[in-house]
Amino acid sequence: MKAVLSLLLFALLGVVQALSSTGSRLLVVLEEAAEKSKYSKFWGDLEARGFELSFESPKSTTLSLFKHGDLAYDHLILLPTKSKGLGPNLTPNILVDYVNKNGNILLALSAEQSIPSAVSSLLLELDIALPPERNALVVDHFNYDVKSAAEKHDVLVLPAPKVLKPGVKNYFAVDGLLAVPRAVGQVLGNASPLLAPILKAPATAYTYNPKEESESLEHLFAVGSQLSLVTTFQGRNSARFTVLGSAEMLEDQWFDAKVKTPAGAEAATANELFAEKLTAWTFQELGVLKVGRLQHFLNEDLGTGRNLTIPEFTQTYDGLYRIKNKVHFALELSEYDMDHFVPYSLPATDAVQLEFSMLSPFHRLTLQSDSQTANATIFSTSFVLPDQHGIFNFIVNYKRPFLTNVYEKRTVTVRHFAHDEWPRSYVISGAYPWITGISVTVTGWLVFVAVWLYSAPAQDKTKKSQ
């Protein structure tokens, strides 16, 4: 009976377990409880995926992102607020510390509500700039919804991004059109490799402040593809921060709305599926890489072109390597897909590389995906150690957009040849002239000594008189 109850308990725990690879605790910061009903479908989707939602007001005195120095919540959603600030518990420094401790944040903006200075300061820390004018939004006179924005043109209708970068996996591709109402455009800095735009504004879009219609449009904040409507930031610790320019994209009315473009194309929005994929990536249900077994061993009996099989992968080598040894290196790489790990599928134009380095790399080799297990891909290679003894490192440093960073380092010692390991001179064909010269020299010396010993001058037998 106890065994049956235990099995039922584990089954229930498996049902309620979050799909995220980092945890299930999700905090939603919402100023007015009445606005919670606007996002009922969004909350329902998150709860169906196993997240434990907690709602707090930014003005709450009990709100805290940390408990006993650790994260109190694994993920955070910040919705627009009418206040000028987020309160003492959500300052930019606290939010940066939250990301540094591997917390994930989804920040939603709205042009209808003024953006707190704390949010602007936080985004500047990430090299993301917002329009200086309050209530500035993105408009487009060629890509808008005819039904809901016939005059203002502030509800953009855009196709979902199909290709983000060549050779980069796109976790946000959906079929259909996206409705982006009253979005706040962002301009990204060029210096940070950690930033990546997900959804860019069309070439005909620009920022506009409807409350200052008399203002000249000659000096615009940004236009066209300079504006990012959805931006992602992934820290060096793989924590994720997503900026959604339009919080209204998450509302129920836009999850099942029908939009119509000026060209006459009419379709239902794909906002619900896009929101699911965007939150899945932000909360680390997608694009999470994991290194399984990593091993290196002597490969003297194997050719450098031989593929690695599963039995060979269990070998280990704890001794010292010697210069010019043949070595085999292999590691397992898995990718988290919503609720389980699957073998990592490498894009066609991408490669996982191995560096064998001391102070600088002596070898930089491409790892080949030789085989797969049930939930991992095995990448391996064989190579000959350099003719240099010392302390070396096997390093795999794989960093790609929208994927968690992989950095693995193993330190080994490479010794020189022992005295009895050097090949004999008669084995080396290039040493034959030297061996011949030495032989001739020794032979000539022996002949000279023999001749000198047996060629002594005859002694004079006459006695010398005194």
Of 43, 186, 215, the closest CA to residue 123 belongs to: 186
Distance (Å, whole) CA 350 – CA 400: 9
pTM score, whole prediction: 0.84
Of 244, 215, 216, the closest CA to residue 228 belongs to: 244
pLDDT of residue 114: 80
Write out the two tokens for 317.
């080598």
Query: pLDDT category, 290, cuts 50, 70, 90?
Result: very high
Of 199, 180, 110, the closest CA to residue 139 belongs to: 180
Amino acid letter, 92: P
pLDDT of residue 9: 40
Helical packing angle, 117-125 and 92-100, nearest 10° = 40
Query: pLDDT category, 12, cuts 50, 70, 90?
Result: very low
Distance (Å, whole) CA 295 – CA 313: 7
Mean pLDDT of the chain: 87
Q: Which residues contact 122 (CB under 8 A, 6 or more apart)?
A: 92, 95, 96
Residue 29 contacts residue 57 (beta carbons within 8 Å): yes
Distance (Å, whole) CA 54 – CA 240: 20
Average pLDDT over residues 76-87: 87
Average pLDDT over residues 261-280: 92
pLDDT of residue 303: 44
Distance (Å, whole) CA 222 – CA 186: 9
The model's pLDDT over 27-64, given as tens digits with 9 standing for 90+, comes to 999 988 888 999 999 999 999 999 999 999 988 888 99
Higher pLDDT, 299 or 396: 396
Percent of the chain at pLDDT above 70?
88
Query: pLDDT category, 21, cuts 50, 70, 90?
Result: confident
For the ranges 113-117, 174-178, 186-190, 414-418, the lowest mean pLDDT is seen at 113-117
DSSP state of 34: G
DSSP state of 144: B
Query: pLDDT category, 65, cuts 50, 70, 90?
Result: very high
Average pLDDT over residues 409-427: 87
pLDDT of residue 313: 56
214, pLDDT greater than 60:
no
Higher pLDDT, 114 or 217: 114
Higher pLDDT, 400 or 425: 400
Higher pLDDT, 440 or 264: 440
Distance (Å, whole) CA 79 – CA 251: 11
Distance (Å, whole) CA 77 – CA 26: 8
2, pLDDT greater than 50:
no
The model's pLDDT over 148-204, given as tens digits with 9 standing for 90+, comes to 998 999 999 999 888 788 778 889 999 989 999 999 999 998 878 899 999 999 999
3, pLDDT greater than 60:
no
Q: Which residues pair with 258 in a beta bridge?
A: 268
pLDDT of residue 399: 93
Task: State the CB neighbour count (10 A cutoff) for residue 109.
Answer: 25
